[in-house]
Structure 1
Amino acid sequence: MFNRRAFLAASAASVALATVRPGLAADKAPGGGDAAASLNQLLDTFFQEDLRRSPEGATLAGMDTGKLAGLRAKLDDRSPAGRKADAAAAESQLRRLRALDRKALTGIDAVNYDSVDYVLADAVESNRKFPFGSGGSPYELCQLQGSYQSIPNFLDVHHPIEGKADADAYLARLEAFAGTLDTETAQFRQDAAHGILAADFMLDTTLTQLRALRVEAGASGLVSSVARRAKEKGLGDAYGAQAAKIYTDKVGPALDRQIAAVAAARKTATHDAGVWHIKDGEAWYAQGLKSSTTTTLSPDEVHQIGLDQAKEIGARLETLLAAQGLTQGTVAERIKALRARPDSTYPNTDAGKAQLIADLQVKLDEMAGRLPRIFRDIPKAKARVQRVPPAVETGAPLAYYESPPLEGERVGTIYFNLHDTAEWPKWSLPTTVYHEGIPGHHLQGCIAQETKGIPLYRANMFFSGYGEGWALYAEQLADELGMYDADPLGRIGFLKFLLFRAGRCVIDTGMHHKRWSREQAVKYMVDLTGDTESAMTRETDRYCAWPGQACSYKIGHTLWNRLRDQARTALGDKFDIKDFHQVGLNSGAVPLDVLQTMVGDYIARVQRG
């Protein structure tokens, strides 16, 4: 179930940034020099091992050069042999890690060890239990899983073409894509024969997407990407013709075979949304929830947390909405009414969109000015708000964050998709910019970038419970710092999004553990949040493809708060929120179980004086 390559792909930016991070942590505890050096050397070895097994990860990280230049012409090995090699590597790395003396490590080195041990142990356990699934999904193919989903965009956006060698490597990867498709088709058939098959509605979307990809060579983006870029580099028209032949002879037929296999399996698919309906599905979900949240919370505990917090947040929203004159109906109905107000959105014009971006930059800058009140370490890199370029906004997410580049102007960017400003009520914008920017992903990521002593292998890891949990906690910090004191509608937006994340915990565990139907889950979210049925259907289908992942946001947020309360209670007058944030951020991303240990050590250290 655990896919090491997925970690490489998901955090390539972190890897690239980590390549320039020298030295040891400034706050590293003394002692353990030999043990620390052995650990760092071992983790560097692990990183190189993983990089060589993931050509796509190497390209994403910008490290397919020099001695690794040969990786640029290859794709990841998704064959049974490749998966077996990944599983064997995880077992080997865990054995070698545990051969070191953990007790000899302190400070950042101990955190590095514990984080890597957690990931490797989870990988080994998952691989031993479940011979199916990858990338966080139990399904080989569905609407969000499969190389048909990832490789076309990877080749177009991430495979560089600067000269002949790059264009040749593109053609080699295009040809390899056909083999990858056939490998996954064979695995899909095998899984389906054992009852491991996505729901009918998921396969319907999968078929729609596959058929949209299967066009004539002249209309394929796989062909036009290399044709256009090679010509721009003065390489002529030959590459377009060669790509068209590869597509016609190999990729197209492989897509046809995959479409046929999915269409045949669709006839036997059920409408059951939850992973419980597949072989070993209940056990898979328990493990998947653990992997996604990096906690030991049970599905029932996560479900109850979602219900309890939805109730509490809903009560707070009811009071705030009433103060805005919205006193009738449920919270969801009142949110719909608020959204329908004519002044709730910016004009859907270039001028209106420019004003939206300018207003958010003002809020972000104001937030940055308040950071010293609760943070000891302030990122050196600045943050800016920009509009997603109109040329690509139809396929871009609603909002996302891009880390600062390594060279030149060190500025992180928060992008907003403004294809239609009606998708962005004014009251929903501030909490989003705090989540993606300051004090959210930008602050957390930049502090990690600027922290010494985190080896490449560790810097390559991403933990959704930690990172997304921090971003939700950051939204809360904005409220605590008074950003909504003069903006009551902004506070409603903050709580509405928090309510949405609580609802995710309810319906994810509802479908996968309590056997809710897709329709029951959609209705719950519509009734809870006031969002449209179409939007909540898309969200629900995402949770069906990646069981457990959606819970990580609110569980992470809950734990950050719980640990802060624990430290404040234990330390009393000795509690300093700046110290708490420094402990939580200055070791980079960690599993939440490791974060709990770190905070516990911090409490004990302060108590000892």
Structure 2
Amino acid sequence: MTTQTFETTRRQFIAGLGATSALTLGGCAAIPRPEGIATAQAIGAERLLEVVGYNLLAHEPERATGLGVDTGQYAHLRGKLEDQSPAGQEAYADTLRQDLERVRAFPREGLGSENLTNLEVVESAYELALDGFALPYGDTPVGNWRTAPYVVIQNVGEYLALPRFMQSSHNVENGDDADAYIERMEQMPSVFDGELARIRAARGMGVVPPAFLLDKAIGQMEQTIASAGKGELFADDLRAKLNAKGMPESHANRALTLETGPIAEALQRQLAELRAERAVASDAPGISARPRGEEFYTWALRSSTTTTLTPDEVHNQGLEELDALHARMDPILRDIGYTSGSVGERMQELGNDPRYKFAEGDPGREEIMEFIWDRVNWIKAQMPRAFNTLVDPNMEVKRIPPAEEVGAPGAYGGAGSKDGSIPGRFWINLRDTDLHRKYDLADLTYHETIPGHVWEGEYSNRLPLIRSILAFNPFSEGWALYGEQLADELGAYDEFTVGRLGYLQSLAFRACRMVVDTGLHAKGWSRERAVQFFVERNGSKRGEVESEVDRYCSWPGQATGYKLGHSRIVDQRSRAERELGSRYDFKAFNDAVVLGGNVPMDVLERNVERYIASASA
């Protein structure tokens, strides 16, 4: 098959969106298209999807900035923030209900597979989200991965999200951008107070986070407030951006007044509430220990897996997959001289081997960054061997801000904006270089960058707007794990066998997550039991998994989607190989999955069915 590349630039694509966005739904059939390119029915579906996408972004304008679509008639979104109040969240749910009905009512006859998939994806995402909004507490993801019962905690809340967003995504190229920056800052006190109303209401229902999470959140909030008191969250950032463009600093002075005054005061009100919660908190880690916790977890597990698997089914699958992966690790460990003890015990020994540790402090941080870029450059060169349709990601590697590191995972990553103005990013936790090893950092790099999150996001960014917005946890994370597998299949560890142990331990780590998450939230496990399961069964580093387990406590269900999604993708590949025989093509299968975009698991299956039918013809 001939290798393809995307010839239309992302900026041209956005310009095209802007050209159609002024049209009304009633006039969609009249949009001029060359005969044979699209039917009136397809044009109507495309127009509906575009309107639905911008309706969503009206409630989450930060995502419009992140995607690079807050331009033209949507430029007003650049100065807006999401309404975090109870009323704002109910208005969001109302929009979802209305648009779900419009999508359901749209006739399917005559539509091609792409538009059918697009409509199915919106239906699935909105149904899941509305079930979440119907719960009496929590922060509901819409096309997102975070199932958060606690609106403000160690890794959830605008006190963390807004500084990161404004610093990394709100570019300042001109006076209008600077005005929008200030407009957003002016809204921040009401945003924080909106969250405050929701966490107070939750406490009134008896929904209080675990004490150990509140201890982290309180420390981080205190650090955020201290930074705000010095103007280091927003004012310093805006001043640097203004200086870079040779613009006057008057906006920065206004920003300083806002940050050290009403913004810091609103954060103090949140801190007071967190301390009130801490006074009545328990150490019970699972959501099942909270009012309506079982109901919340049932929804969270469905949202996180896009399946109806029960906690027991997820738990048992995790145990089975863990045993199978350890069976693959055992002979490698024996070959390199680790012959005594369980796989977990031997992996702990390997983790203590100084040959695979990075230096301490800043020298080690620099070493880690060099290591990551070496692996990025290698894997990028291998992509023509794995895909027919290629992209060239614009990306960067950044340290997670120190104020967030204590509550953050070891790393995370994602695509940039649709227009290319904001790069894809690999965020790496460098609070302690001992979090990473030379035998597992390569695999982490492939997961977060290429062929993982950044690579997949480049394809999703070329889909209709709503498809770039909506993401599904098992596909997002399952694809990133599949990206790790592709790196291994392309030879990443042929001359570094111990690196394959890092890859297999990564998969085993995700199988552990299925066990631990369900253990915490459905089986009454303690935090210590969850940590020890990782350390003893998988040889994980305690410092790494303590933060991991805390994350599962604040995002019930989310951790289960990784390995489950990976296994579903691999199962579909085996099915394609089996049914196509000699007509199966490795690169064509990978294209079929990634070009289908981020989808729930049932839609993934239908996309592969269409690939098999096409390859069989």
In the superposition, the TM-score normalised over structure 2's length comes to 0.84
Deviates more, 1:133-142 or 1:390-399: 390-399
Q: Distance in 1 between matches of 2:351 and 2:445?
A: 19
Query: Per-residue displacement from partner, 1:520-554 (whole Å, max 9, x unpaired)?
Result: 11111111232332321111001111111111111
Deviates more, 1:319-328 or 1:581-590: 581-590
* 1:410 to partner: Cα distance: 12
One of 288, 306, 316 as aligned partner of 1:276? 288
Cross-structure match for 2:574? 565
One of 348, 352, 360 as aligned partner of 1:336? 348
Check conservation: 1:15, 1:460, Cα contact below 8 A. no
SS at match of 1:426: coil
Residues 1:85 and 1:149: Cα distance change in structure 2 (over 3 Å): same
Cross-structure match for 1:441? 453
One of 303, 315, 323 as aligned partner of 2:335? 323
Residues 1:106 and 1:269: Cα distance change in structure 2 (over 3 Å): same
One of 467, 484, 501 as aligned partner of 1:458? 467
Cross-structure match for 1:93? 99
The one-letter amino acid of 1:198's match is P
Residue pairs, 1:509-548, within 5 angstroms: 509-548=518-557
* 1:408 to partner: Cα distance: 9.4
Residue pairs, 1:68-147, within 5 angstroms: 68-130=74-136, 132-135=138-141, 136-147=147-158
Query: Per-residue displacement from partner, 1:316-364 (whole Å, max 9, x unpaired)?
Result: 2122111111112222221222222232245669998888777766665
Check conservation: 2:68, 2:420, Cα contact below 8 A. no
Check conservation: 2:59, 2:82, Cα contact below 8 A. yes
* 1:152 to partner: Cα distance: 2.3
Q: Are 1:182 and 2:193 matched, yes or no?
A: yes
Q: Distance in 2 between matches of 1:160 and 1:606?
A: 45
* 1:146 to partner: Cα distance: 1.7
One of 233, 256, 260 as aligned partner of 2:272? 260
Check conservation: 1:17, 1:406, Cα contact below 8 A. no
Percent identity between matched residues is 34
Q: Distance in 2 between matches of 1:147 and 1:391?
A: 15
The one-letter amino acid of 2:200's match is R
Check conservation: 2:440, 2:503, Cα contact below 8 A. yes
Residues 1:420 and 1:288: Cα distance change in structure 2 (over 3 Å): closer
Check conservation: 2:399, 2:427, Cα contact below 8 A. no
Q: Distance in 2 between matches of 1:408 and 1:81?
A: 34
Residue pairs, 1:136-215, within 5 angstroms: 136-215=147-226
- Give the RMSD, CA atoms, in angstroms: 3.5
Deviates more, 1:417-426 or 1:48-57: 417-426
Q: Distance in 1 between matches of 2:61 and 2:490?
A: 45
Cross-structure match for 2:14? 19
Check conservation: 1:130, 1:284, Cα contact below 8 A. no
Check conservation: 2:384, 2:390, Cα contact below 8 A. no
Residues 1:547 and 1:17: Cα distance change in structure 2 (over 3 Å): farther
Residues 1:542 and 1:347: Cα distance change in structure 2 (over 3 Å): closer
Deviates more, 1:480-489 or 1:499-508: 480-489
Check conservation: 1:394, 1:419, Cα contact below 8 A. no
Unaligned runs of 5+ in 1: 1-13, 24-29
The one-letter amino acid of 2:303's match is S
Q: Are 1:46 and 2:57 matched, yes or no?
A: no
Residues 1:178 and 1:415: Cα distance change in structure 2 (over 3 Å): closer
Cross-structure match for 2:322? 310
* 1:568 to partner: Cα distance: 2.6
The one-letter amino acid of 2:254's match is Q
Q: Distance in 1 between matches of 2:93 and 2:10?
A: 22
Q: Distance in 1 between matches of 2:371 and 2:281?
A: 49
The one-letter amino acid of 1:106's match is G
Cross-structure match for 2:71? 65
Q: Distance in 2 between matches of 1:488 and 1:571?
A: 32
* 1:311 to partner: Cα distance: 1.1
* 1:150 to partner: Cα distance: 1.3
* 1:308 to partner: Cα distance: 0.7
Q: Distance in 2 between matches of 1:349 and 1:175?
A: 38
Q: Distance in 1 between matches of 2:545 and 2:304?
A: 21
Cross-structure match for 2:229? 217
Q: Distance in 2 between matches of 1:412 and 1:226?
A: 22
Q: Distance in 2 between matches of 1:77 and 1:99?
A: 29
The one-letter amino acid of 2:39's match is G
The one-letter amino acid of 2:343's match is V
Cross-structure match for 2:595? 586
Query: Per-residue displacement from partner, 1:105-138 (whole Å, max 9, x unpaired)?
Result: 2221111111111112222233234454334201
Residues 1:373 and 1:224: Cα distance change in structure 2 (over 3 Å): closer
Check conservation: 1:428, 1:490, Cα contact below 8 A. yes
Residues 1:582 and 1:16: Cα distance change in structure 2 (over 3 Å): same
Residues 1:100 and 1:427: Cα distance change in structure 2 (over 3 Å): same
Cross-structure match for 1:10? none
* 1:144 to partner: Cα distance: 1.5
Q: Distance in 1 between matches of 2:272 and 2:128?
A: 35
Check conservation: 1:508, 1:543, Cα contact below 8 A. yes
In the superposition, the TM-score normalised over structure 1's length comes to 0.85
* 1:234 to partner: Cα distance: 5.2
* 1:369 to partner: Cα distance: 5.6
Q: Distance in 1 between matches of 2:284 and 2:353?
A: 38
Residue pairs, 1:422-501, within 5 angstroms: 422-449=434-461, 454-501=463-510
Q: Distance in 1 between matches of 2:560 and 2:220?
A: 27
Deviates more, 1:567-576 or 1:205-214: 567-576
Q: Distance in 1 between matches of 2:56 and 2:420?
A: 30
Residues 1:220 and 1:284: Cα distance change in structure 2 (over 3 Å): same
